[in-house]
Chain A
Amino acid sequence: MSDSLKIADKTYQSRLLVGTGKYQDFTQTRAAIDASGAEIITVAIRRTNIGQNTGEPSLLDFLPPEEFTYLPNTAGCYSADDAVRTLRLARELLDGHKLVKLEVLGDPNTLYPNMIETLAAAKTLVKDGFDVMVYCSDDPIIAKQLEEIGCCAVMPLASLIGSGMGILNPWNLQIIIENAKIPVLVDAGVGTASDAAIAMELGCQGVLMNTAIAAARDPVLMAGAMKKAVEAGREAYLAGRMPKKLYSASPSSPTTGLIA
């Protein structure tokens, strides 16, 4: 069955997008990403260490940009200007690469997005030719506005970044999904496989996660679990779940032919 994820005119077989942070070392990062089956991986843009350990391996040695679609992020940015500046550097760094993850944070304790700055940055980036996947609050109005600006995907949080609290407001996510003509992906808050499956069952086009895999006791095993959960959730969504019946039970076995 062909059921691919389409983002900004490119198709992907995997609906699981993963981060590359918080792993023990690059070998573990690579093993977990392989187990996850992810094709799109997020990276952060940071100052290069000058004058120290110039010979040490880099993330790119373990995850060659030819093998994966890089999704540079703006983690740590608290203003639209900083986010735009970071992604312009990322574009230069990755040879003109246009697909980016925009996030503008509003508060260091919750890492909750500042949507006013995010909207401003999104406008500038779209005008500048970027394909913007945007981390956002689960506010249906904001999500619609981001779509109207021209973002290629909206990525509402399930719960706070790195919290592992799961999907706290499935109803809002559902409203966002129903109203959107662009892919909706859950980004942030997934804690375990069932959270990812629920996101997909709600009709999300994909899930982006990092800590849920990296902070598991066995990240590689969890990466495999997430792959299956995203696939299972997607198939359940496509299959269409049975209606819930609160007060009328319905036996699965025949009601006739019982022994007397």
Chain B
Amino acid sequence: MQILINGKPRSFEVTQFSVATLVETLDLVGKRLAIECNGEIVPRSQFESTLLIDGDKLEIVGAVGGG
């Protein structure tokens, strides 16, 4: 399946997986981040239970320097 992450398409060899698995796959465990799926925020408490499917659009954001 293909998911759009931060504007870039990424392919995965499974048909469905959780946001928690994605975070692991992307080596982002322990990073402070927030995730939006198709315009809706996925609370951290729901990473395990939220399943991603082909065509989902994700935004993964963090805090950076700014004024």
Q: Which residues of A contact B (CB under 8 A)?
A: 19-23, 29, 42-48, 50-51, 54, 58-60, 70, 72-73, 75, 85, 88-90, 92-94, 161-162, 208-211
Contact = CB atoms under 8 A, between A and B. Distances in A.
B44 A75 contact: no
Contacts of A162: 67
Interface of B: 5-8, 10, 26-28, 31-36, 39, 41, 43-44, 59-67
B14 to A, nearest CB: 18
A26 to B, nearest CB: 8
Closest 4 CB pairs of A and B: A44-B66, A19-B67, A210-B67, A93-B34
B34 to A, nearest CB: 4
B43 A48 contact: no
Contacts of B59: 47, 89
Given A43-B66, A51-B26, A58 B31 contact: yes
B66 A42 contact: yes
Contacts of B6: 47-48, 50
B33 A93 contact: yes
A93 B62 contact: yes
Contacts of A72: 63
Contacts, number: 103
24 contacts: A20-B67, A21-B64, A22-B65, A42-B66, A42-B67, A43-B64, A46-B62, A47-B61, A50-B10, A50-B26, A50-B28, A54-B26, A54-B31, A58-B32, A59-B64, A59-B65, A73-B67, A75-B66, A90-B34, A92-B34, A93-B34, A93-B61, A93-B62, A209-B67
Contacts of A93: 32-34, 61-63
B44 to A, nearest CB: 7
B63 A92 contact: no
Contacts of A46: 61-62, 64
Given A48-B28, A48-B61, A51-B27, A88 B66 contact: no
B41 to A, nearest CB: 5
Nearest to B66: A44
Given A21-B65, A44-B63, A54 B34 contact: no
A51 B27 CA distance: 7
A43 B44 CA distance: 21
Contacts of A90: 34, 63
B67 A89 contact: no
